[in-house]
Amino acid sequence: MNIYSNNSWKAIVEMLKSDIYKGLSEEECEKERKNSGDNRVFVPYKNGFIASLKNFFSIYIFLSVAIIGVLFYYSEYVMGSISTAIILISLIIKIIYTKNKTNKMKFLQNLNNTTTKVLRNGIPKEVKSEELVKGDIVYFSKGSLVPADIRIITANEIKVDEKNITGENFLKEKFDSKIDEAIYSIAEMKNMLFKGSSIAEGEGTGIVVATGNLTELGKMFTMIMDASKNKHTLGKRVEKKVGKIMIILSLVAIGTSIGSYYFQQNLYGLCLSLFAIQVMPLISIAFLYGIILKKDLHKKGIDLVNMSTLDIINEIEILFMDKIGSVTKEEMIVDKLYVNNKIFESKEIIYNREVTIKRLIETIVLCNNSTYDADQDLGEGELKEVAYLKFANEKMAYKSMLEANHRRVFEIPMDTDKRVITTINKVKQGSRANCRGNVDAILDRCSYIMIDGLEKEITPEDVERIKAIDYNFSLEGLITQGIAYRSFSYTPSREENIENNLVFVGLVALDNPLNDDIEEEISEIKNRGIIPIMITDDNKIVATSLGKKAKLVSSNNKVISGIEIYSLGNEELIDTVSRTRVFSRVTPELKARIIGLFIKDKYKVAASGESLGELPTISLSNLGIGKGDAPKIIKNAADLFIKNNYLKGFLSIFDIARKFNDGLAKVQAAIITMLFSEIVIINTLPLINNNIQVSYIPIIIINVILAIPLFLTLIHSPRDDDNKFILRSIVYSVLALAAIYDANSSFEIVLVATLGAFLLINTFINVSIPLKRVSAQLVLFIVSILIWLMSVGGLIFLYGLTLSIFAMVKIGVIILINLIYELILKRCQ
């Protein structure tokens, strides 16, 4: 983009072979559209079905297809059909998941479905924004949504809201002149308009220099999509783990089936064993537990957008923290004031006692766009402004009363150049400009100073003294603003140089308190081997003070400001950034650049974002964290969204990830125990009991209907590191075979009764189920018991059988033996 800013608009029009009087012809537009495409920002996701097919191939899928092939080859059509249905369900889940990711980005069509006034064949006309091409001459005015990246040709007092692009909250003044000096960021391109921003004031014309995904906004979204492709790892990891289990158990099944084939002269045992393996519910359990986990976290203000966060978080090496909401509280407090050449504590201030103090309080209330409800102690708006209103309210200077007596005429918003905000309000004898903003910027505009209610010319000594006080406030970590005003005997117009010849009133110093547990949280982050780095919009002095208070830095050389970074060469930049722990006055664009350096050096980075300008930050990071009141696009693009105190939320995910992975390991061990026992029983039972063969019905009951709720309960248990599942499998097999041995026609009922009971006992003993309150674990366990009882009853009804007293006593004794065994194992842990 620099080439367009560093050249005159005439050179750009000539370069793009356009004409400011005629524009492009329809033929030229069509030719350019064929070469470069249209002006739509599109999501680079492929069709959901195709993408799912691409992800379909894995060890799990290949083995499942192979098992299905074996089942159909040996005419086991029912088992083959059930196995096929399970594979299809897995594919459907993947398609839905991919489609949901695509649908989240459909809001981009809102950017494409606007209209634009364009010059074609010398005639101004309205066209759809998606029809714009490079070289088009376009018109824009107040309220227009910028339809493409545009080099300004004529500018009539243009002010633009570029928050969607740069993340900055200020309006930007734009002009048509070329920029001669070096440009380091798009925020400095004052003669350019970017797609997705909006015209707040003024009007003008320009020439389109980039369209569609070649615009800055389009590049941003492409970056998001490309980066997110490598972030969804959990599903692949679970499938890989399932594939390994299937390979091992399939080999066990083949081995045991070969032994029984000599006696049976058929491979039914192998088919049933493979079927039992194929319907293994680990993937379903992980998917369902993910849904439950997301709902639980949502209640705490945390959205687990990408389940793979539970994988990624353990790899994080660097955490970029925004100051507010992590290091400091989301509130500011008026701490001190400098007025009448004196420093006052806020509690010392009395509103109506002295003219200068009264003028200062009225200014911070009238030059304010926020609200504050004293009854609920709740404010809405910028933190500084809410702090001013709360302070004024305590002094009985109420915004509603002041605004009723001093009606606002208009506002001159703050921008990145002047960093001053002004409102014009009516007073008894005319109007008054109420101004506040950056102390240096205010002082540069002041010709007078009010002391003890009297205005006098401001002297260099006054300015030096004020700057010294401001410096000392900054050393204390306080955030300052200068307060000034200007009186008019009439109502000035917007065109007048209102923000000049101001009267300086005083300084307000605000404290942004540290979070209560920040030192412990920083210490915990460091203990996990993660380097915490803070990014703040404060000046370097305030940032240094804050960094030391939060134990982020111990020396000044670990703090750097954004303007210093721009002056560094590549080698200096890498060396400086690598040792810096606090970055001050950093724009979202520079923040993304810094993170990119760490990513390039193969560091695993977590970073947060709240505004659209921070989309690159979220997409570049290995773990992107949305926070606060972020718009929907940020929530969708992030891996993790935390509403409040995202640092505490970030740390809580470590324990959640550990419990999730430990739970999966526990379920994995339980599934191996279950399947190993079933394989042994399936292939041993015909040898010891007159060639009786187990049907697929008990396998469906145990492996699918009972296992899913039961193992969802088990997933909450702590991990058993003793790996006793092999011993447990042998015990299960021996006890179940002992119960089945002389069961004759009721053997399938006994199998479900015993093996189901073993799994229930294992879960109950190894999971701390709260019995005195309703919980998900308790509900799932009760559901599991009911399923077990109904399954046994259903089989009795299906086969028209009854169990003898001896059989029931025998089953009871075997279940009791298993209970004693599990208690012994638990005690030995």
Structure confidence at residue 308 (pLDDT): 86
Alpha-carbon span 669 to 406, nearest angstrom: 73
3-state secondary structure of 821: helix
Give the span between the Cα atoms of 717 and 664, in whole angstroms: 10
Amino acid at 21: Y
Query: Between the CA atoms of 293, 298, 300 and 304, what dihedral angle is there, to the nearest 10 degrees?
Result: 60
How far, rounded to the nearest angstrom, does the alpha carbon of residue 342 sit from its chain's CA centroid? 46
Place of tokens 């084939």: 261
DSSP string, 505-558: EEEEEEE-PBPTTHHHHHHHHHHTT-EEEEEESS-HHHHHHHHHHTTS-SSGGG
Helix (H, G, I), strand (E, B) or coil at 451: strand
How far is residue 707 CA from its own chain's centroid?
33
Structure tokens at 145: 């949504």
Measured CA to CA in angstroms, residue 115 lies from 41, 139, 145, 190 at distances of: 15, 11, 9, 24
Pairwise CA distance, residues 493 & 499, whole Å:
12
Distance of CA 24 to the CA centre of its chain: 43
Where does the chain hold its CATH 2.70.150.10 domain(s)? 2-43+109-211
Question: Any idea which residue has 């009238």 for tokens?
Answer: 366
CATH of 333-511 among 3.90.950.20, 3.40.50.300, 3.40.1110.10, 3.40.50.10300:
3.40.1110.10
* CA–CA separation, 646 and 653 (whole Å): 10
Instruction: Identify the pLDDT of residue 495.
Output: 82
Among the four given CATH numbers 2.40.160.60, 2.70.150.10, 3.20.20.70, 3.40.228.10, the one describing domain 2-43+109-211: 2.70.150.10
Q: Decide if 552 contacts 581 (C-beta within 8 A).
A: yes
Residues 6+ apart with CB under 8 A from 226: 44, 619
How far apart, in whole angstroms, are the C-alpha atoms of residue 134 and residue 223? 22
Residue type, 806: F
Measured in whole angstroms, the distance separating CA 557 from the mean position of its chain's CA atoms is 32
Residue 598: count other Cβ atoms within 10 Å of its Cβ.
23
List C-alpha distances in Å: 415 to 152, 160, 427, 646. Answer: 19, 10, 26, 29
Number of other residues whose CB lies within 10 A of the CB of residue 611: 19
Q: Are 637 and 626 in contact (CB under 8 A)?
A: yes
With CA atoms as reference, report the closest residue to 634 among 658, 601, 609.
609
Phi-psi domain of 110 (left: phi exceeds 0; alpha: psi -120 through 50; beta: other): alpha
CA separation for the pair 680, 257 (Å, rounded) = 9
Location of each CATH 3.40.1110.10 domain in the chain: 333-511
**Which is nearest to 642 in space by CA: 623, 660, 629?**
629
Burial class of 665 by CB neighbour count within 10 A (0 to 12, 13 to 18, 19+): middle
- Buried/exposed code over 167-203 (b: 16+ C-beta within 10 A; e: otherwise): bbbbbbbbebebbeeebbebbbbbbbbbbbbbbbbbe
The residue type at 213: N
Beta carbons within 10 angstroms of residue 10's beta carbon: 11
Instruction: Answer yes or no: are the C-beta atoms of 332 and 480 closer than 8 Å.
Output: no
pLDDT score for 46 = 45
Helix axes 725-740, 805-828, angle to 10 degrees: 170
Listed residue (286, 382, 330, 301) closest to 625, CA to CA: 301
Give a three-class secondary structure readout of 688-711: HCCCCCCCHHHHHHHHHHHHHHHH
Angle at 462 between CA 469 and CA 339, to 5 degrees: 55
Both structure tokens of 482? 């200068």
Closest CA to 508 of 459, 436, 446, 453: 436
List 149's β-bridge partners, or say none.
Answer: 210
Measured from the Cβ of residue 6, the count of other Cβ atoms closer than 10 Å reads 16
> Rounded to an integer, what distance in angstroms lies between the CA atom of residue 767 and that of residue 779?
13
CA distances from 735 to 24, 225, 297, 732, 814 (A): 86, 54, 41, 5, 6
- DSSP, res 829: -
- Sequence-distant (≥ 6) Cβ neighbours of residue 3 within 8 angstroms: none
Q: How far is CA 690 from the centre of its chain?
A: 61
Helices (H), 77-116: 77-103, 109-112
Give domain 302-328+515-643's CATH superfamily.
HAD superfamily/HAD-like (3.40.50.1000)
Q: Which two tokens stand for residue 708?
A: 């899913």
CA-based torsion, 349, 352, 356, 359: positive or negative: positive
DSSP string, 305-336: S-TTHHHHGGG--EEEEETBTTTB-S--EEEE
Residue 217 CB: number of other CB atoms within 10 A?
A: 24
Tell me phi and psi for residue 699, to 5 degrees: -65, -45
CA dist list (Å): 749 to 688, 702, 803, 805: 18, 11, 9, 14
Write down the pLDDT at residue 43.
54
Q: Which residues of the chain have pLDDT under 50?
A: 44-52, 107, 721
The DSSP code for 341 is: T
* DSSP codes joined into one string, 157-218: EEEEE-HHHH---SEEEE-SS---S---SGGG-TTEE-TT-EEEEEEEEEEEEE-GGGSHHH
| pLDDT score at 180 | 76
SS3 content of the chain, % helix, strand, coil (to 5): 55, 20, 30
The amino acid at residue 640 is L
The pair of three-digit structure tokens given for residue 390, joined into one six-digit string: 């709360």
Which amino acid, 702? Answer: I
Do residues 605 and 317 lie in contact, with contact meaning Cβ atoms separated by under 8 Å?
A: yes
Instruction: Give the position of tokens 């299905």.
Output: 68
Task: Give the β-pairing of 502-511 and 640-642.
Answer: unpaired
| pTM for this model (two decimals) | 0.75
Q: Which residues pair with 508 in a beta bridge?
A: 337, 481
Q: How far apart are CA 582 and CA 540, in angstroms?
A: 9
Round the CA-based radius of gyration of the chain to a whole number and report it.
35
* CB-based contact 797:714 (threshold 8 Å): no
Q: In angstroms, rounded to a whole number, what is the distance separating the alpha carbons of residues 248 and 672?
A: 10
CATH 3.40.50.1000 intervals, the chain: 302-328+515-643
